[in-house]
Amino acid sequence: MQYDSKSLYDGLVASGLIVPSGEPGVFGRNAVFEDVLERFNALVGRIAQDDKAEKFTFPPTLARGIFEKSGYMKSFPQLAMGVVCFCGSAGDHPKLVQRIAEGQSYDDMMERTGVMLIPAACYPVYPSFTGTLPAGGRLVDMTHWVFRHEPSDEPTRMQAFRVREFVRVGSPDEVLEWRDMWLQRGLDLLRSLGLPAQEEVASDPFFGRVGKILANAQKEQKLKFEVVVPVISEEKPTAVCSFNYHQDYFSKTFDILQANGEQAQTACLGFGLERVCMALFKHHGFDPARWPEGVRARLWPEQA
């Protein structure tokens, strides 16, 4: 199989699966793309069913105070997306309109608002754990739009995409056992869909020179794993599922205690839903009606 970014992007566009918008990493998805995405997400739901996670849905914007408290601007400032608004008077408005008409900057007329865009599906949930957990901890299930400022023509590198994410909070043993179980589940799931999935020790894109040290420490301690599949490159396969063990980072930040009064720990895992779809289109073709029977039976079981 030949891999390259441009031919995948062009194929997705030519087959109507994605609709370009003029901004890199921002595009529409058609009904066929969405059906694959929803079917994969539903399959994850069936696998997770007996875990009895609590389901929540948070909006794509997050209180700025929570975002800042989480430390995101320390670790990944280059990816963060803040929100601004026009708070001027009716008297200021003609100037704003004129600047836009003339293609001039009007940035100085925009002010920061109280929100940021959520960078990962789990960020809104940690503050809701503040306090003492029930015995056995908690498990939360979310599907959210998330945002990264990294404009790119590479189709798997989007400015906005959806993640099906689970967050486990509890004792270190509970959290690690759950993470390890899902690492195997993730591999089994993706392989059952005919994808050559592999597990890798990974690191987050920490910013700057200090960031390189943090990333190395994260790798050494095996705090992050990814399940990767070749999508646009064989040498650098694409992460389609990511597992982060935060130890007590978020539980200290947001004051989360176990039922026994000890500090809790957290871990999360997320499937990048668009990336899974693109991996499927890459490996099985742009027309899901012609995908291998075993793959179709997994995603559309009622038609099998």
Our CA angle for 220, 273, 1, nearest 5°, is 80
User: Least separation, in Å, of the C-beta of 20 and a copy of itself?
Assistant: 9
User: Least separation, in Å, of the C-beta of 178 and a copy of itself?
Assistant: 20
Collapsed DSSP state (helix, strand, coil) of residue 110 = strand
User: Least separation, in Å, of the C-beta of 288 and a copy of itself?
Assistant: 15
**Residue 158 vs 227, nearer CB to a copy of itself:** 158
**Residue 47 vs 53, nearer CB to a copy of itself:** 53
**Residue 80 vs 267, nearer CB to a copy of itself:** 80
**Residue 60 vs 196, nearer CB to a copy of itself:** 60
User: Least separation, in Å, of the C-beta of 303 and a copy of itself?
Assistant: 18
| DSSP track, 115-163 | EEE-SSTTTTTGGGG-EEPPTT-EEEEEEEEEE-----SSTTS-SEEEE
Length of the chain counted residue by residue: 304
Return the residue matching tokens 């200290």. Answer: 252
**Residue 125 vs 202, nearer CB to a copy of itself:** 125
Residue 158 to residue 9: CA distance in whole angstroms: 12
Residues contributing to the site for a copy of itself (CB under 8 A): 19, 21-24, 26-31, 33-34, 54-66, 68, 73-74, 77-78, 80-88, 90, 93, 96-97, 100, 105, 107, 110-115, 117, 124-125, 127-128, 145, 147, 149, 151, 158-161, 207-210
User: Least separation, in Å, of the C-beta of 64 and a copy of itself?
Assistant: 8
Collapsed DSSP state (helix, strand, coil) of residue 282 = helix
CA atoms within 13 A on the CB side of 49: 4
The alpha-carbon radius of gyration of the chain (Å, integer) is: 21
